[in-house]
Chains A and B, each alone.
Chain A
Amino acid sequence: MFNQALAGSVPIQGTAVAARWDGLWDFLIGLSAFFFVLVVGAMIYFIIAYRHRPEKKTTYLTGSHLLEAVWIAVPTLLLMIIFGWGYSIYHSMTQAPADAYEVRVIGKQWLWTFQYDSGRTTVNEVFVPLNRPVKFVMTSEDVLHGFYIPNFRIKQDVVPGMYSSIWFQATVPGKHQVFCTEYCGTSHSGMLAKVIVLDDAQWKAWNLNRPIGNVPEVKYSGVEEVSAQSPVASAQGSLVEQGKAVYEKKGCTACHSVDGTTKVGPTHKGLFGSKVELADGRTVVADENYIRNHIENPQSSTVKGFNAVMPTFKGLISETEMNALIAYIKSLK
């Protein structure tokens, strides 16, 4: 209802979450309109009705406990409903399905790099399948950036030194605008990208490295056709293969095995996603952030039963190598 009144006030709905988001937005617009009319309407009415007139006395009133109770209780109740509604949508924004298609995202001043499992790398354009959950695992090479897709109503800061993630399931094929939203210097407003949502045929073509044909540009107000998308540069081996090369080049094999045997350090077979007991008594889950942190600050999370002898690799592994390395460790099931 309010969407029609405010046509174009929010972007198109590119995901199911966007539709839920718009529902809450409509509710808040309606509620705000009600309270605005209540407050400002009352004020304007009083301005007219109770303007100063000679001999017209005022009424001595100093308050009303009943009214005060009402205007504390009613807003509190409404705010709790809004909070719960907002949290419920937010929760579904953060819980990526386990089978989500993963892409690794690296922000740097002032472009976006995307790495795929196949080993391909693209810049400022990321190709994803339609109607399938997609998860971006993101980090930055320099300062803070923000990854924002208005059509999907999602946004997440991209922070150097750690991984953050974002996920969506696109329901509208085409190119969707991406903005950097965390101020990052000179070309902050030029740090733009497109999420390119491909239908089944295009997705197959993309994965076979063939031309994918026309991809519509999704504007805020609708969809329009643009020229054909050229195929994107091929890569050297899959991401896991690249990771294996990094693993060997950086000498991980000296202390870690990939087949389950224990060397100076614990094996990496089956490490990803497992629970790890640390020497200081904590138990942590070996996710992307744990592995990255352990590579950069090994002393901070020595595994129980092992000596703290691993040197730091901080500054010795680039962000693209780190992504490949983690993909490889992840593949060691």
Chain B
Amino acid sequence: MAHQATVADGGDNYLNHSKGLMSWLTTLDHKRIGLMYLASVLLFFLVGGIFALLIRLELYKSGTQIIDANTYNRFFTYHGAIMVFLVIIPSIPAALGNFILPIILGAKDVAFPRLNLASYYIFMVGAIFAVAALFLRGADTGWTFYTPYSIRTNTTVILVLTGAFIAGFSSILTGLNFIVTIHKLRAPGLSWSRLPLFCWALYATSIIQVLATPVLAITLLLLMMERIVGIGIFDPKLGGDPILFQHFFWFYSHPAVYIMILPAMGVISEIIPVFSRKPMFGYKAIAYSSFGIALIAFIVWGHHMFVSGQAELANFVFSLLTMFVAVPTGVKVFSWIGTMYKGSMHYYAPMLYVFGFLELFTIGGLTGVFLATLAIDVHLTQTYFVVAHFHYVMVGGTLMSLMAGLHYWFPKMFGKMYSERSAQISFWLILIGFNVTFLPQFVLGAQGMPRRYWDYLPEFTTLNRISTVGSWFIGLGFLYAAVYFYQALRSGKKASANPWNALTLEWQTSSPPPHDNFIETPVVTSWPYEYLPENIYMQGNS
């Protein structure tokens, strides 16, 4: 690889470039903003995770364990809303994307640094509204806010809606910023056909963010107007149509599923060639399939509504279209496996998380085909089968990928190495814990146990108990990860500029990068996955 890259020689970096709390709160540096997003997202992940553990604890046996039905209904609402809107949606694009995208493009920053900082504050204002509801009467509608229940419940739904409404603008602005950055700020020589796949994935994601999020904003606004002013839009008592809400909601929230998973796929695509020491297999197919998925994302929302009462013709069309999601997704999975073929694979923590991703995402994807199939969905929808399916995709996909990305870019972000041994122990805890938690839920769903149930029939006890025990291992795994990351920040070994011997631009500058990312603008002369047969070594993390 013949990047004319330059490595800053010690001293100045973005972390010590300026000092003090205000230098962080008013920073325009995409790296610092990325870290601020990361810290916020991890904090919300802790909160959402605690709710998850409490939910599972309550479901350890039938009958009341620790909380009553009303509290339980609030807790699953908080868990869902926090994890979707404040963790998974911003996790990879806003945190890792903000940090990595400009550097991997060879740019000094995103196209609009001030807008970027504004996005962060808008996100936090939205989050504060949503979290404030927790301290008042809470919200008990589920993260989907289905009408007319959400109009009639006496909980503080308005605050949560306002929070999601505001946070949505952050998502739109970040998407806009990324699109312009990718178009305008690529380093000399970084043509479209040499663009790293993480950028392609973020590009496809940004398009969805810009086009779909306004629909969510409008929907939530209409819902607020109905609750506050009593304008009849969704409540049949006022002449509205509750199914219309579901159409509006899923018109955003289905594409949002791809806002969550496409960046995750981008991270996986970066890591596999590096740790396999092989060129990406089917680079164009992976790049294009992101856009294929983004396009299909907009025309399949009705598959959430097969038993809602919508017309049979609509169900026919949405089931048919949904089947096509599996095609580009399959292309990606096969291409990733193909990249490993005849490689020289190194098994450090980032790659372990990739393997975990592939195992879990494959199960998530295959069970998605069950749910896309009309008759099969009629029995399985609204049961634990759906719960297990989307956790395999969202946690098994997005969170595993976030962990892969964190372990991969941690040396770049902080200039320190974490304990590889601890990372591997934590990985196995999370992977095994995850499967123990969610595999039984597929069976529970197939047997007919509905979701959002505070209590259940005695015949569901054993599987629920196994699931609850599994959740403790996931909790332990993440707790352990928090400990060794903290230790690494405090006293980790110094990381070299390019411990993984990777070819993309972010590894061609020092760790951590200087304030302006590069001393001199890098020039790109080949594609980023040009791993020649003898290029099989990396320093790694030992």
Residues of A at the B interface (CB closer than 8 Å) are: 6, 8-11, 20-21, 24-25, 28, 32, 35-36, 39-40, 42-43, 46-47, 50-54, 56-64, 67-68, 71-72, 75-76, 79-80, 82-83, 85-91, 93-94, 142-144, 146, 148, 150, 153-157, 159-162, 164, 177, 179-190, 219-220, 297, 314-315
**CB <8 Å contact, A181 and B341:** no
Known: A50-B345, A75-B330, A159-B242. A144 touches B373 (CB 8 A): no
**CB <8 Å contact, A86 and B236:** no
Query: A8: which B residues are within 8 A, CB to CB?
Result: 447
Beyond the given pairs A28-B373, A39-B334, A83-B319, 7 more chain A to chain B contacts, judged by CB atoms under 8 angstroms and listed by A's residue number, are A58-B533, A71-B334, A143-B148, A144-B149, A154-B378, A181-B382, A220-B447
**CB <8 Å contact, A177 and B331:** no
Query: Interface code B139-183, partner A: CB below 8 Å = 1, 0 otherwise?
Result: 011100011110011000000000000000000000000000000
Query: Interface code B498-539, partner A: CB below 8 Å = 1, 0 otherwise?
Result: 000000000000000000000000000000010111111000
Q: Which 7 A-B pairs have the closest CB atoms?
A: A161-B236, A150-B448, A86-B373, A89-B375, A90-B374, A189-B453, A181-B382
A-B contact pairs, 21 of them (CB 8 A): A25-B446, A32-B366, A32-B370, A36-B362, A47-B345, A54-B536, A58-B277, A59-B341, A60-B278, A60-B531, A60-B532, A60-B533, A61-B341, A63-B335, A68-B285, A75-B326, A82-B369, A86-B377, A148-B450, A153-B375, A181-B381
**CB <8 Å contact, A177 and B448:** yes
* Nearest-Cβ distance from residue B4 to partner chain A, whole angstroms: 24
Query: Interface code B452-469, partner A: CB below 8 Å = 1, 0 otherwise?
Result: 111111010000000000
Query: A71: which B residues are within 8 A, CB to CB?
Result: 330-331, 334
Query: A184: which B residues are within 8 A, CB to CB?
Result: 149
Query: B345: which A residues are within 8 A, CB to CB?
Result: 46-47, 50-52
Set A35, A90, A315: member contacting B378, Cβ < 8 A: A90
Set B312, B370, B456, B457: member contacting A91, Cβ < 8 A: B312
**CB <8 Å contact, B376 and A24:** yes
Set B148, B327, B382: member contacting A79, Cβ < 8 A: B327
Cα distance, A297 to B239, chains bound together (Å): 9
Q: Which of B216-253 contact A (CB under 8 A)?
A: 236-237, 239, 241-243
In the complex, what residue of chain B is closest to A50 when comparing beta carbons?
A: B343
**CB <8 Å contact, A157 and B344:** no
The yes or no answer to B116 lying at the interface (CB within 8 A) is no
**CB <8 Å contact, B375 and A86:** yes
Known: A58-B344, A160-B236. A146 touches B307 (CB 8 A): yes
Q: Which of B430-484 contact A (CB under 8 A)?
A: 443, 446-448, 450-457, 459
Query: B324: which A residues are within 8 A, CB to CB?
Result: 76, 79
* Nearest-Cβ distance from residue A195 to partner chain B, whole angstroms: 13
Query: A146: which B residues are within 8 A, CB to CB?
Result: 307, 382, 450
The yes or no answer to B70 lying at the interface (CB within 8 A) is yes
Known: A51-B345, A60-B532. A182 touches B382 (CB 8 A): yes
**CB <8 Å contact, B379 and A155:** yes
Cα distance, A60 to B70, chains bound together (Å): 59
**CB <8 Å contact, A189 and B69:** yes
Query: B342: which A residues are within 8 A, CB to CB?
Result: 50, 58-59, 61
Cα distance, A82 to B278, chains bound together (Å): 36
In the complex, what residue of chain A is closest to B315 when comparing beta carbons?
A: A90
**CB <8 Å contact, A28 and B369:** yes
The yes or no answer to B98 lying at the interface (CB within 8 A) is no
Query: B334: which A residues are within 8 A, CB to CB?
Result: 39, 67, 71
**CB <8 Å contact, B276 and A50:** yes
Query: A28: which B residues are within 8 A, CB to CB?
Result: 369-370, 373, 376
Query: B452: which A residues are within 8 A, CB to CB?
Result: 183, 188-189
In the complex, what residue of chain A is closest to B305 when comparing beta carbons?
A: A157
Cα distance, A314 to B236, chains bound together (Å): 10
Query: B140: which A residues are within 8 A, CB to CB?
Result: 185
Cα distance, A28 to B279, chains bound together (Å): 34
Cα distance, A217 to B340, chains bound together (Å): 54
The yes or no answer to B367 lying at the interface (CB within 8 A) is yes
Known: A146-B382, A177-B448. A58 touches B343 (CB 8 A): yes
Cα distance, A58 to B281, chains bound together (Å): 13
In the complex, what residue of chain B is closest to A183 when comparing beta carbons?
A: B452
In the complex, what residue of chain B is closest to A185 when comparing beta carbons?
A: B149
In the complex, what residue of chain A is closest to B277 when comparing beta carbons?
A: A58
Cα distance, A52 to B324, chains bound together (Å): 37
Cα distance, A261 to B449, chains bound together (Å): 53
Cα distance, A183 to B315, chains bound together (Å): 22
The yes or no answer to B188 lying at the interface (CB within 8 A) is no
Known: A67-B338, A68-B331, A162-B309. A87 touches B447 (CB 8 A): no
Q: Which of B307-352 contact A (CB under 8 A)?
A: 307-309, 312, 315-316, 319-320, 323-324, 326-327, 330-331, 333-335, 337-338, 340-347
**CB <8 Å contact, B340 and A46:** yes
Set B242, B320, B451: member contacting A161, Cβ < 8 A: B242
Query: Interface code B116-145, partner A: CB below 8 Å = 1, 0 otherwise?
Result: 000000000000000000000000111000
**CB <8 Å contact, A32 and B367:** yes
**CB <8 Å contact, A80 and B323:** yes
